[in-house]
């Protein structure tokens, strides 16, 4: 990359996809430079735009929160580093996201791993078999018991984050502090009784 | 309930299996992976199962191959034989309890994983580190990188049929393990970084030992070059084998010597500067040949660069504490929030993402292993190459399977 050329920032790059939320982050606080919330439909187009602009996919992290399951895609750029986190919320009952393995071939394994741990189906993954866990295993080890689930805002909108919000769609409330802003305490005995999620013991 | 259940069933049910559970005539009965890996259009092709106990698949990696004669038509790594679910353990232990796990993810460069985790915790909790501890981290982490590269060098040549080099490599590596043992108490699975510093201070004997090791290692490298690097048999085996173009690096998110052997000067120590690396003068070795030999040369050059870094770090090592006086007690609670911390390991970019809700244990910890992305490109890279070259390619990626499986 020639010095002096200004690379498009992620907010410019993803603007045509109308992200529900886009913020410039303080890397000294979070290790991120940008964070965004996109709809599942917009993900493949976002991936194509990012690949074209020279970004690579670092990892895909599943996350089980009160609002549902979230997949966090971390992207970074080798020529001009600065981490971008794209968050996509999916439904807990039938979690499904479009695969981006045809764009980023490296995503195939990340998606399979996230399917192993969270049960998210990645539609279009060329090889949707378990990656790390044995075949036919019951349950998803990183799903949380209902009582242990925190609201997304408790994790991603904690005080001192110093995010500069660039864009926020009407009705986007995932990062608003919940009514009971106190984090939910894991109640092991109760969770075992409901039989939901996995056994922490 | 979950739509992936159907996917799992599809993976479990063997397409070649008959109703009584056996497999079709030309299929060996096996697990779902073997059965799913069906023969392609070529009737003369052969399905070969390599590993998980194959000596060149260090650790336990399994690769399913479809061969046309000696040429690879298709390859598919099968992972999970060393999976230990570190990410779940991270959710049920507090950060101090989880530290020993960081010695066991990539046991060849354990201190880099130590650093990635303490870095993420320190960033999230705002823990300060005394300057002496920063330099001690640099010194031990770079020495550990040399031990990793030495082991890779010896083992790679062993894969390629050269037995002697690993003896030299282990001779030199042993001296480093003795030194690191003084600092960490361990020889392999280090977990000596602490939130707010390092476990023990450098003794004069350690400093002296490292000072003596640097010229010793430098005097050995020309012998390594003369004995191995310039050896025509090695060069013919790995030059122009396993070509990884830069776009493949981007599409798979590869990093470390795999990216730098393809002409991409990406090193986390420069890209996302951490600790005191900005106060050391060193180069990022880059090669443009994109082949296994390029990755080999990058790693050999990195040994020299790590020696440079350690030498300067010893010169700049200040007096002072190795633990911050306000370092938290082991039972401390992480504040709510998230942090991502990346370091440059011997195999590339190691990343740890922590999300906390302020509870006793982290809410979610993600471990980004460089080997995971580096190995993911193997299937594409190996297509069309000779089976014997697959061993040369796998070795050139410097895999540590426990890191990939986590």
Chain A CB contacts of B35 under 8 Å are: none
Q: What is the pTM of this model?
A: 0.86
**CA-based nearest residue in chain B for residue A186:** B359
Q: Residues B404, B79: contact at Cβ < 8 Å?
A: yes
In this prediction, residue A179 carries a pLDDT of 58
Element (H, E) at B385: none
Residues across chain B:
406
User: Scanning every residue of chain B, which has its alpha carbon at the shortest distance from the alpha carbon of A91?
Assistant: B2
Residue linked to tokens 């502090």: A177
Q: Are B353 and B87 in contact (CB under 8 A)?
A: no
Can you tell me the distance from the alpha carbon of A55 to that of A82, in angstroms, rounded to the nearest whole number?
10
Closest CA to B76 of A186, A126, A135: A126
Using an 8 Å CB-CB cutoff, list chain B residues near A99.
none
- What residues 163-222 of chain B have any CB closer than 8 A to a CB of chain A? none
pLDDT at B12: 42
Largest CA distance in chain B: 74
Across the interface, do A131 and B272 touch by the CB < 8 Å criterion?
Answer: no
Decide if B366 and A59 are in contact by the 8 Å CB cutoff: yes
If DSSP codes are grouped into helix, strand and coil, which group holds residue B221?
A: helix
Model confidence at A194, pLDDT cuts 50, 70, 90, reads very low
Mutate to test the interface with A, among B273, B336, B401 (most CBs of A within 10 A): B336
For residues A134 and B80, the answer to whether their CB atoms sit within 8 Å is yes
Distance between CA atoms of A60 and A57, rounded to whole angstroms?
A: 8
Chain B nearest CA to A169, separation (Å): 23
Interface membership of B76 toward A (CB under 8 Å): yes
Q: Show the tokens assigned to B141.
A: 């982490």
Rg of chain A on CA atoms, in Å: 18
Which residues does B337 contact at the CB level (< 8 Å), separation at least 6? A29, A30, A155, A158, A160, A161, B124, B355, B356
Whether B160 contacts B215, CB under 8 Å = no
- To test the contact with chain B by mutation, choose from A48, A54, A59 the residue with the greatest count of B C-beta atoms within 10 A, namely A59
Q: Contacts of residue B402 in chain A, CB cutoff 8 Å?
A: none
A119 close to B (CB below 8 A): yes
The 3-state DSSP composition of chain B as helix, strand, coil percent (nearest 5) reads: 50, 15, 40
The tokens describing B276, both together, are 């005191």
Alpha carbon B128 to chain centroid, angstroms: 27
| Yes or no, beta carbons of B358 and A183 under 8 Å apart | yes
Other Cβ atoms within 10 Å of B124 Cβ, number: 25
pLDDT of residue B15: 45
Query: Does B4 sit within 8 Å of A115, measured CB to CB?
Result: yes
* pLDDT tens figures, A1-56: 444 456 888 888 888 888 999 999 988 889 999 999 999 999 999 999 999 999 99
- Over the stretch B15-59, which tens digit does the pLDDT of each residue have? 444 444 444 445 555 666 766 777 676 778 888 888 787 776 677
pLDDT tens, B160-177? Answer: 888 899 999 999 999 999
ipTM (interface predicted TM): 0.85
The parts of chain B modelled with pLDDT lower than 50 are 1-25
Mark yes or no for CB contact B8/A135 under 8 Å: yes
Mutate to test the interface with B, among A40, A76, A110 (most CBs of B within 10 A): A76
Contact A78 B85 (CB under 8 A): no
| pLDDT on residue B57 | 67
């Amino acid at each position: 990359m020639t010095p002096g050329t200004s690379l498009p920032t992620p907010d410019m790059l993803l603007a045509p996809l109308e992200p529900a939320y886009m913020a410039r982050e303080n890397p000294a606080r979070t290790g991120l430079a940008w964070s965004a919330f996109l709809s599942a439909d917009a993900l493949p187009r976002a991936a194509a735009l990012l690949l074209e602009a020279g970004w690579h996919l670092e990892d895909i992290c599943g996350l089980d929160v009160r609002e549902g399951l979230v997949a966090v895609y971390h992207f970074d750029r080798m020529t001009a580093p600065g981490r971008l986190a794209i968050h996509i919320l999916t439904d807990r009952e039938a979690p499904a996201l479009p695969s981006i393995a045809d764009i980023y071939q490296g995503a195939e394994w990340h998606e399979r791993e996230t399917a192993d741990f969270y049960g998210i189906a990645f539609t279009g993954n060329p090889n949707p078999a378990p990656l790390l866990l044995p075949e036919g295993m019951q349950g998803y080890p990183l799903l949380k018991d209902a009582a242990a689930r925190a609201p997304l805002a408790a994790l991603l909108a904690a005080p001192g984050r110093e995010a500069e919000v660039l864009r926020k769609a009407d009705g986007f409330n995932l990062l608003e502090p919940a009514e009971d802003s106190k984090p939910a305490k894991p109640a092991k005995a109760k969770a075992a009784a409901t039989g939901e999620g996995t056994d922490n013991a | 309930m979950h739509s992936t259940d159907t996917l799992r069933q599809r993976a479990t049910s063997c397409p070649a299996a008959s109703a009584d559970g056996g497999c079709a005539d030309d299929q060996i009965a096996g697990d779902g992976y073997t059965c799913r890996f069906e023969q392609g259009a070529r009737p003369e092709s052969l399905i070969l199962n390599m590993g998980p106990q194959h000596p060149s698949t260090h650790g336990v990696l399994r690769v399913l191959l479809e061969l046309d004669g000696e040429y690879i038509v298709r390859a598919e790594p099968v992972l999970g034989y060393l999976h230990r679910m570190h990410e779940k353990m991270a959710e049920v232990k507090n950060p101090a309890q989880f530290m020993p796990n960081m010695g066991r993810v990539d046991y060849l460069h354990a201190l880099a994983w130590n650093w990635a985790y303490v870095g993420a915790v320190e960033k999230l909790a705002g823990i300060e580190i005394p300057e002496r501890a920063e330099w001690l981290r640099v010194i031990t982490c770079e020495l550990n990188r040399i031990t990793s590269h030495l082991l890779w060098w010896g083992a790679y040549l062993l894969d390629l049929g050269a037995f002697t080099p690993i003896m030299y490599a282990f001779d030199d590596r042993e001296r480093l393990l003795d030194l690191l043992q003084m600092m960490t108490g361990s020889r392999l699975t280090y977990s000596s970084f602490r939130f707010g510093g390092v476990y023990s201070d450098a003794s004069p004997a350690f400093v002296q030992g490292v000072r003596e090791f640097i010229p010793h290692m430098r005097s050995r490298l020309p012998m390594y070059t003369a004995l191995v690097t310039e050896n025509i048999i090695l060069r013919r085996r790995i030059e122009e084998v396993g070509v990884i173009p830069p776009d493949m690096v981007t599409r798979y998110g590869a990093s470390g010597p795999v990216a730098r052997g393809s002409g991409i000067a990406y090193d986390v120590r420069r890209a996302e500067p951490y600790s005191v690396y900005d106060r050391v003068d060193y180069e990022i070795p880059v090669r443009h040949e994109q082949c296994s030999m390029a990755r080999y040369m990058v790693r050999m050059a990195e040994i020299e660069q790590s020696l440079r870094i350690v030498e300067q770090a010893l010169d700049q090592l200040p007096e002072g504490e190795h633990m911050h006086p306000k370092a938290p007690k082991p039972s401390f609670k992480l504040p709510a929030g998230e942090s991502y911390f990346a370091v440059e390991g011997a195999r590339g970019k190691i990343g740890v993402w922590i999300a906390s809700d302020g509870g006793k244990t982290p809410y979610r910890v993600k471990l980004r292993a460089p080997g995971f992305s580096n190995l993911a490109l193997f299937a594409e890279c190996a297509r069309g190459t000779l089976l014997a070259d697959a061993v040369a390619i796998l070795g050139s990626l410097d895999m540590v399977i426990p890191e990939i499986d986590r």
